[in-house]
Amino acid sequence: MRTFFSEDHRLHFPQAELSGGEFVTPYERPSRIEYVLARLKERRLGEIVAPDAVDMEPVRKLLDPGFLAFLETAYDDWKAAGQGGEVIAAGMPTRRQRHDRIPRNIDGKVEYYCHASETAITGGTWRAAQASMACAQSAQREVANGARAAFALCRPPGHHATYDQYGGYCFLNNAAVVADMFRTNGAGRVAILDIDFHSGNGTQDIFYRCGDVMFASIHGDPLDTYPYFAGFADETGEGEGEGTTINVPFGPGTPYGPWAEALDGMIARIKDWGAEALVVSLGVDAYKDDPISFFKLDSPDFLDAGRRIGRMGLPTVFCMEGGYAIEQVGINTVNVLEGFEDA
C-alpha cells in the first residue's frame, strides 16, 4: 500500500510538554516519524508520496467553524496580546461553569478550546495540523478510488481532538474526517477501529450520536490513564448512535491475549453491522516499553493484529496516531501494515 507523508509535520514541535510537574521535551516529537519512514523503506512497503493540498471543506463540514478559526490564528493572537511563550492553556471550563459564551480574550479562548494543557500551540502548529489532515484525505481518496488500503503517516495525531477542542497532542481529528468523507462518497456505514493505547475520546465525541459511523476502541482504563474522563465500557452511544460506540478498557500490565480477544470481538461487531469502509486509528503505544503507557504488546503482536484487521477484507485507511518508544515505533507500525497486507 502507499503511504502519504508531508515534511510539514516538522512545523509543529513545541519546546515543551507539561509532564509530571516539569516541562519536558514533548513525547510526541518529529523524530517518531523518521523511524516510521525508515522502516517503511527498509521493508519496501510501497511508495511514499506527498499528499494533495488539504481540502478544508470536509473539515469545516464536520468540525466547529469557531474552533477552526481559533486554531488558525491562536498563536498570532497570543503573540499580539503580548504573551511571551507558546500557547498553553492554564485552565479549562469545569463542572457547573458556563460553556455557552466564548471569551473575547485570547487567553480565555485558549482555555475554552483546549481540554488538556500538556499540548502547546506554536507558530507552525496550524500548518502542520493541516498537512497531517492532507495526508489523511489523500489516503481516503486513494481508497475511495479503488485501492484496497492506504497509510496516512499523520503527525500531529488526531484522535483526541473533538468537535471543538484540542489536547492530547491532537488538533484536527484526521480519522473522523476520513470516515465522514467515506460517507460523503456513498458508504452507508463506516467503522473506525482505534487501537492506540489511549481512548479516542475525540473521535467518540464526534460520532457519539451518529448511527452510521461505528467507533470501537481498545485502550487503557480511563480510571488509570489519560484521557481520564472518557472511554468507559458503559459509553455505548446515544440516540441514533446507541450501540455504535464500543469501548474496551483494560488495566495496567494487559498482555496481547485479552487485547487480541477484544480486537476479535470488535472485528466481529463491525462485520456484522455491515461496515463498508474501515478507518484504523493506528497508535502503537500499546507496546510493552512505551514510556507513557502500560500494556504489554510485543512487536510480533502488531503483525498479528494487522493480519486480523486485514482478514476483515474492507477498504481501509490507516491514520497514524501515537507511539513513543521511539526506536520501536517504526517496527511496530509497519508490522501492523505488513500483517494487514499478508492477511
Give the CA-trace dihedral at 309, 311, 316, 317, to 10 degrees.
Answer: 30
CB of 226 to ligand FKS, least distance (A): 4
Binding-site partner at residue 226 among ligand FKS, Zn ion, none, CB < 5 to 8 Å by type = ligand FKS
Nearer to ligand FKS, 26 or 51 (CB): 26
* Shortest CB 120 distance to ligand FKS, Å: 12
Contacting Zn ion (CB under 5 A), which of 322, 336, 338, 340? 322
Give the whole-angstrom CA distance, residue 252 versus residue 137.
Answer: 35
Residues 119-143: b if buried by 16+ CB within 10 A, e if exposed: bbbbebbbbbbbbbbbbbbbbbbbb
Q: Is 283 in the site for Zn ion (CB under 5 A)?
A: yes
Reference 124, options 173, 75, 169; nearest CA is 75
Q: Is the dihedral of CA 262, 264, 266, 268 positive or negative?
A: negative
Of all residues in this chain, which one has the CB nearest to Zn ion in the complex?
A: 322
Instruction: Between 4 and 287, name the residue whose CB sits nearer to Zn ion.
Output: 287
Q: Give me the least distance between CB of 339 and Zn ion, in Å please.
A: 20
Comparison of 8 and 285: residue with beta carbon closer to Zn ion: 285
Among Zn ion, ligand FKS, none, the one that 38 touches (CB under a kind-dependent 5 to 8 A) is none
| Contact status, residue 81 vs residue 116, Cβ threshold 8 Å | no
Interacting residue ranges for ligand FKS, rule: CB under 6 A:
19-20, 28, 118, 157, 159-160, 168-170, 196, 198, 226, 283, 285, 292, 321-322
Question: In terms of CB distance, is 111 or 196 closer to ligand FKS?
Answer: 196
One-letter amino acid of 127: R
Q: How far apart are CA 18 and CA 164, in angstroms?
A: 22
CB of 155 to ligand FKS, least distance (A): 9
Minimum distance, C-beta of residue 90 to Zn ion, in the bound complex (Å): 24
198 is a contact residue toward Zn ion (CB under 5 A): yes
Alpha carbon separation from 1 to 273, 306, 339 (Å, rounded): 26, 13, 12
235 binds, among ligand FKS, Zn ion, none (CB under 5 to 8 A by kind): none
Find which of ligand FKS, Zn ion, none residue 28 binds, CB within 5 to 8 Å per kind: ligand FKS
Contacts of 290 (CB under 8 A, 6+ apart): 197, 284, 323, 324, 325
Please identify which of the residues 9, 12, 159, 160 carries the catalytic annotation. 160
221 counts as binding Zn ion under rule CB under 5 A = no
Helices (H), the chain: 31-42, 56-62, 65-80, 106-113, 125-144, 174-184, 201-207, 256-273, 299-310, 326-341
- Part in contact with Zn ion (CB under 5 A); list of ranges 5-13, 48-56, 141-149, 278-286: 278-286
* Cβ atoms of residues 163 and 64 within 8 Å: yes
Grid cell of 312 as nine digits:
476483515
Q: Is 27 in the site for Zn ion (CB under 5 A)?
A: no
| The entry of Zn ion, ligand FKS, none that residue 160 binds, CB within 5 to 8 Å by partner kind | ligand FKS
The residue among 168 and 249 lying less far from ligand FKS, judged by its C-beta, is 168
219 is catalytic: no
Residue with Cβ nearer ligand FKS (109 or 115):
115
Grid coordinates belonging to 132: 497531517
For residue 52, the 8-state DSSP code is: P
CB 19 within 8 A of CB 120: no
Total number of residues binding Zn ion (CB under 5 A)?
Answer: 6
Piece in contact with Zn ion (CB under 5 A), picked from 45-53, 94-102, 143-151, 189-197: 189-197
First vs last C-alpha separation in the chain: 13
19 binds, among ligand FKS, Zn ion, none (CB under 5 to 8 A by kind): ligand FKS
Catalytic residues: 160
Binding site for Zn ion (CB under 5 A): 196-198, 283, 285, 322
